[in-house]
Amino acid sequence: MSRIEEVLRQDVFSRDDIIRLLSAVEAEELEMISQAAGRTLMERCSDKVYLRGLIEFSNICTMDCLYCGLRKSNQKVNRYCLTKKEIVAAAYECAANGLGSIVLQSGERRDASFIDFVTDVVREIKRQTVSEKLSDGLGITLCVGEQSPENYRRFFNAGAHRYLLRIETSHPGLFKKIHPPRQRLESRLRCLEVLKEIGYQVGTGVMIGLPGQTISMLADDILFFRDIDIDMIGMGPYICHPDTPMYKHHQSVDRRRNEIFRRSLLMIAAARLVLKDVNIASTTALQAMDPLGREKGIRFGANVVMPQLTPAGYRGDYLIYPGKPCLNEGNNECRIRFENEMRSLGRAVAIDQWGDPKHFITRTKKTRGNGPASYESLAEQRLNR
């Protein structure tokens, strides 16, 4: 029996097992891992693929992440913010086409007018999308960065029930290298903790292929997701943007392109095998690297896709990385094509459903005493490494 077969016979995976999974290269090994991830998904979740219409409503950002094309120091970006009417119209289209949930994503702003705007938009989307099929309106996920506990609560009370905040890497040294000094890992960890306390379904994730990132760091990322008892995961390959400080690494990143893509799929599979009942997105960045990237992500254990619903005229200005596919895929025709593709993989697309992660339901049933270690103690452990 091969070493990978041995690893895959288990139900609980050690750090070494995860490193072994992430190191797989041979086609046969990759097939075994993808099959095992698929089995776990069927046993612990279902055959359903959930849809979230993605609305990138603003590219204005006050942060300066060294990898992202939207960073505030990038003067070449044509900045925009959709109007409330435009966002609500996109959300309405999403509901009308059977996508039960949306993700509202933007650059990070913390000023009062932005917070009021987001709160108002969430409330209005909820009001306008209640229907016979969606008795509580669209499910709303927010992805608008680090905010104060009070503002997270305002968004929640307005009707947002999921929040995505990627940790980018759980390794303190690497985090420091890819962010300016004022952006801190501890602060992100605290945000995740607050989001969970408020009652959100909480998602996080990392970029794969960052310069200086090792397989053990990625294995630690998976263990980090497990230890903080996360509900949802969104991970994807790091793609170099020419107008960012990290572009200086582009030659080595380009050389490792195939490895980065493969490892991104393996991270999805490893997350599925270790965390089992969480929702995992097959992200746009996978599709940017390979036209079939999204389907491959599904094969490796993902169960969420985020069709692009940003109005077409703005998509070219939301370039976090180059080569982002700008497909118009929220409409009925695209949905039917996607449903057929999924059916050929033995999967069914869930229509008019929120598609909440099973993990959220399980963890909220747990008594307090059995809950995860606090995020702050985890942060401390990581900082002391």
* Contact partner at residue 102 from ligand SF4, ligand SAM, none, CB < 5 to 8 Å by partner kind: none
One-letter amino acid of 255: R
Query: Which of ligand SAM, ligand SF4, none has residue 218 at its interface (CB below 5 to 8 Å by kind)?
Result: none
Provide the 3-class DSSP secondary structure of residue 204: strand
DSSP 20-35: HHHT--SHHHHHHHHH
We find the least distance from the C-beta atom of residue 213 to ligand SAM, in angstroms, to be 13
- Kindly identify the residues of this chain, within the stretch 308-337, that bind ligand SF4 according to CB under 6 A: 320
Residue 178 sits in the site that holds ligand SF4 (CB under 6 A): no
CA distance linking residue 247 with residue 335, whole number of Å: 36
Q: Please report how close the Cβ of residue 108 comes to ligand SF4 at its closest, in angstroms.
A: 4
Q: Does residue 175 touch ligand SAM according to CB under 6 A?
A: no
Task: Provide, rounded to whole angstroms, the least separation between the CB of residue 70 and ligand SAM.
Answer: 6
Burial class (CB in 10 A: 0-12, 13-18, 19+), 352: middle
Binding map of ligand SF4 across residues 52-71, x = CB under 6 A, - = no contact: ---------x-x-x--x-xx
Return the residues of window 81-110 that contact ligand SF4 according to CB under 6 A. Answer: 107-108
- Specify the 3-state DSSP secondary structure of 50: strand
Q: Residues 120-159 vs ligand SAM: string with x where CB under 6 A?
A: -----------------------x-x--------------
87 in contact with ligand SAM (CB under 6 A): no
Contacts of residue 304, Cβ cutoff 8 Å, sequence gap at least 6: 49, 50, 51, 52, 232, 279, 280, 281, 282, 355
CB crowding 235-245: b at 16 or more within 10 Å, else e = bbbbbbbebbe
Question: Smallest gap, in angstroms, from Cβ of residue 150 to ligand SAM?
Answer: 19
Q: Please say whether the beta carbons of 315 and 308 come within 8 A.
A: yes
Question: What's the CA gap between 326 and 309, in Å, rounded?
Answer: 10
Choose between 245 and 358: whose C-beta lies nearer to ligand SAM.
245
The H or E element containing residue 162 is: strand 162-164
Q: Which stretch binds ligand SAM (CB under 6 A): 79-87, 103-111, 131-139, 337-345?
A: 103-111
Taking the least distance from each CB to ligand SF4, the nearer of 145 and 205 is: 145
Closest by CA to 65, choosing from 286, 226, 244, 272, is 244
Angstrom distances, CA of residue 259 to CA of 23, 265, 267: 10, 10, 12
User: C-beta of 172: minimal distance to ligand SF4 in Å?
Assistant: 18
d(CA 72, CA 59): 10
Give the list of residues 6+ apart from residue 145 with CB closer than 8 angstroms, or none: 63, 106, 107, 108, 165
Least distance CB 61 / ligand SF4 (angstroms): 3
Q: How many CA atoms lie within 13 A of 333 on its CB side?
A: 2
Q: Does 205 bind ligand SF4 (CB under 6 A)?
A: no
Q: From ligand SAM, ligand SF4, none, which one binds at residue 165 (CB under 5 to 8 Å depending on kind)?
A: ligand SAM
Q: Does 115 bind ligand SF4 (CB under 6 A)?
A: no
Report the nearest approach of ligand SAM to the CB of residue 32 (Å). 28
Residue with tokens 């690494």: 249
Binding mask 197-236 for ligand SAM (x = CB under 6 A): ----------x----------------------------x
List Cβ neighbours of 76 (8 Å cut-off, separation of 6 or more). Answer: 243
CA dist 24 and 362 (Å) reads 31
Q: Which of residues 284-313 bind ligand SAM (CB under 6 A)?
A: 285
CB of 21 or CB of 65, closer to ligand SF4: 65
Residues near ligand SF4 (CB under 6 A): 61, 63, 65, 68, 70-71, 107-108, 145, 320
Residues near ligand SAM (CB under 6 A): 67-68, 70, 105, 107-108, 143, 145, 165-166, 168, 207, 236, 238-239, 241, 285, 320-321
